[in-house]
Amino acid sequence: MIVHLKKSLTTSEVQTIADELKAIVITNPDKYVLITPSALKELSSKYTSVTEAVFPMSSDIQLASADYLKNKREVLLGKGVVIGGNTHHTAIIAGPCSVESEEQIESSAQLMQKLGISTLRAGCYKPRTSPYSFQGLGLEGLKLLAKMREKYKLNIITEVRDATHIEEVIEYADIIQIGAKSMYDHGILRRCGKTNKPILLKRGFGTTLQEFVQAAEFILSGGNENVILCERGIRTFETKTRFTLDLCGAAYLKEYTNLPVILDPSHAIGYAYGVPDLSKACMAMGVDGLLIEVHPNPKIALSDASQQLNHEQFSNLFTSLKNLANAIDRKIV
Ligand code: PEP
Ligand code: MN
């Protein structure tokens, strides 16, 4: 249950009520928000005089639920770029899997600027499946991204792999990505609840939608309202493609949550040949964003080489996406 308490209460009165209800407290400028376990369906009448609104919830998808907020939340990605709400905006977030060198990331940044894309993605701490693969440039990569942000006026999204470097990532990034393999890392989730920067939370490839959105609840209940959900493919019996993009799941998230939803066709299929078709299907769904991997020379990419589009392929796809966006009354940002 979500309970809005009157702002006229003192913090110690709020804490007493929170303790009685076993609730988490979020302090907003105009109200206190308590979130109790969803098993609580009715509030005792002794609280009537101190409550402004009460929302009984059917599951522990609470702050993220469309039953709580009917309208999608707006999230500011940075530099005036907003998604969600009533914006009808679809953010194209593109760039290489990893920052590999200044030359490589500058080439990507130049492409984004040329196409009018506002958000550049690239990882510096890579959650690889093998300890012997390229692990990312770390802080050096973050500094290169910061340089590109200044030089090309871009928003930067980069991922946090574990809690050891989370402060660095929060400091350097405009948007913090929590990867599929880190979706359950509570150190990361809880710390991301204590910043106001937008968090792009990727769905673990073996998690249910309920588990995925509950991971988002850790961030929201920490006080950070700027959460974006990203479906990036789940593991099924199929092995011809790397993962299976769960578009049904995306439809569920659009309908039943109040958070912007982004799709990642690149990591889902894992092969560049399918990324243009899948991206168009994603755009046609009317989602809040697409995350697409692009590399100046995919053949020599140090991570996810098979799925990255080259600049020409991406530029052609971008033209098609703009036409599709027009057709469904959305604007690419
Ligand atoms: C990535 O975005 O490069 C990445 C590692 O994604 P995921 O966490 O979805 O595997
Ligand atoms: Mn990648």
CATH (domain of 230): 3.20.20.70
Residue 65 included in any domain: no
Tell me how far the alpha carbon of residue 196 lies from the centroid of ligand 2, in angstroms.
25
Domain count, the chain: 2
Q: Is the pLDDT reported for residue 29 higher than 90?
A: no
* Nearest ligand to residue 183 Cα: 1
Q: Is the pLDDT reported for residue 28 higher than 90?
A: no
Q: What is the pLDDT of residues 229-288, one digit of tens each?
A: 999 999 999 999 999 999 999 999 999 999 999 999 999 999 999 999 999 999 999 999
Q: What is the pLDDT of residues 141-173, one digit of tens each?
A: 999 999 999 999 999 999 999 989 999 999 999
Q: Is the pLDDT reported for residue 130 higher than 90?
A: yes
Q: Which pLDDT belongs to residue 163?
A: 87
Phi/psi at 186 (5° precision): -70, -25
Instruction: Give the whole-angstrom CA distance, residue 35 versus residue 219.
Output: 13
Contact 176, 198 (CB under 8 A): yes
Q: Are residues 88 and 26 located together in one domain of the fold?
A: no
- Which one of 175, 232, 245 would you pick to mutate in the ligand 1 pocket, going by the greatest count of ligand atoms within 8 A of its CB? 232
Asked whether 267 lines ligand 1 (CB < 6 A), one says: yes
> What percentage of the chain carries pLDDT values higher than 90?
97
Q: Are residues 44 and 102 located together in one domain of the fold?
A: no
Q: Which pLDDT belongs to residue 37?
A: 96
Q: What is the pLDDT of residues 40-65, one digit of tens each?
A: 999 999 999 999 999 999 999 999 99
Q: Which pLDDT belongs to residue 294?
A: 98
Q: Which pLDDT belongs to residue 200?
A: 98
Residue 270 included in any domain: yes
Q: What is the pLDDT of residues 109-119, one digit of tens each?
A: 999 999 999 99
Q: Which pLDDT belongs to residue 252?
A: 98
Q: Is the pLDDT reported for residue 201 higher than 90?
A: yes
Q: Are residues 184 and 217 located together in one domain of the fold?
A: yes
Instruction: Give the whole-angstrom CA distance, residue 330 versus residue 325.
Output: 5
Instruction: Give the whole-angstrom CA distance, residue 89 versus residue 330.
Output: 6
Instruction: Give the whole-angstrom CA distance, residue 311 versus residue 297.
Output: 8
Residue 90 included in any domain: yes
Q: Are residues 30 and 123 located together in one domain of the fold?
A: no
Q: Whose CA is nearest to atom 3 of ligand 1?
A: 97
Instruction: Give the whole-angstrom CA distance, residue 262 versus residue 260.
Output: 7
Q: Are residues 85 and 6 located together in one domain of the fold?
A: no
Residue 45 included in any domain: yes
Q: Are residues 150 and 207 located together in one domain of the fold?
A: yes
Residue 193 included in any domain: yes
Q: Is the pLDDT reported for residue 30 higher than 90?
A: no
Asked whether 95 lines ligand 1 (CB < 6 A), one says: no
Asked whether 242 lines ligand 1 (CB < 6 A), one says: no
Instruction: Give the whole-angstrom CA distance, residue 320 versus residue 241.
Output: 23
Q: Is the pLDDT reported for residue 137 higher than 90?
A: yes
Q: Are residues 11 and 89 located together in one domain of the fold?
A: no
Q: Are residues 16 and 93 located together in one domain of the fold?
A: no
Q: Are residues 155 and 304 located together in one domain of the fold?
A: yes
Q: Are residues 49 and 107 located together in one domain of the fold?
A: no
Question: Token pair of 114, please?
Answer: 């040329």
Q: What is the pLDDT of residues 85-100, one digit of tens each?
A: 999 999 999 999 999 9
Asked whether 202 lines ligand 1 (CB < 6 A), one says: yes
Contact 325, 90 (CB under 8 A): yes
Tell me how far the alpha carbon of residue 59 lies from the centroid of ligand 1, in angstroms.
28
Q: Are residues 50 and 84 located together in one domain of the fold?
A: no
Domain coverage including residue 205? 74-332
Q: Which pLDDT belongs to residue 202?
A: 98
Residue 307 included in any domain: yes
Q: Which residue has the tokens 């090309």?
A: 152
Q: Whose CA is nearest to atom 9 of ligand 1?
A: 180
Q: Which pLDDT belongs to residue 314?
A: 98
* Mean residue pLDDT across the chain: 97
Q: Whose CA is nearest to atom 4 of ligand 1?
A: 179
Residue 69 included in any domain: no
Residue 182 included in any domain: yes
**Band of the pLDDT at 77, cuts 50, 70, 90?**
very high
Tell me how far the alpha carbon of residue 80 lies from the centroid of ligand 2, in angstroms.
26
Q: Whose CA is nearest to atom 8 of ligand 1?
A: 179
Asked whether 179 lines ligand 1 (CB < 6 A), one says: yes
**What's the CA angle centered on 202, arms 200 and 203, to 5 degrees?**
145
Measured over the CA atoms of residue 175, residue 179, residue 182 and residue 184, the dihedral's sign is positive
Q: Which pLDDT belongs to residue 205?
A: 97
Q: Is the pLDDT reported for residue 220 higher than 90?
A: yes
Asked whether 232 lines ligand 1 (CB < 6 A), one says: yes
* Nearest ligand to residue 242 Cα: 1
With CA atoms as reference, report the closest residue to 173 among 121, 214, 110, 226.
121
**Band of the pLDDT at 203, cuts 50, 70, 90?**
very high
Q: Are residues 34 and 150 located together in one domain of the fold?
A: no
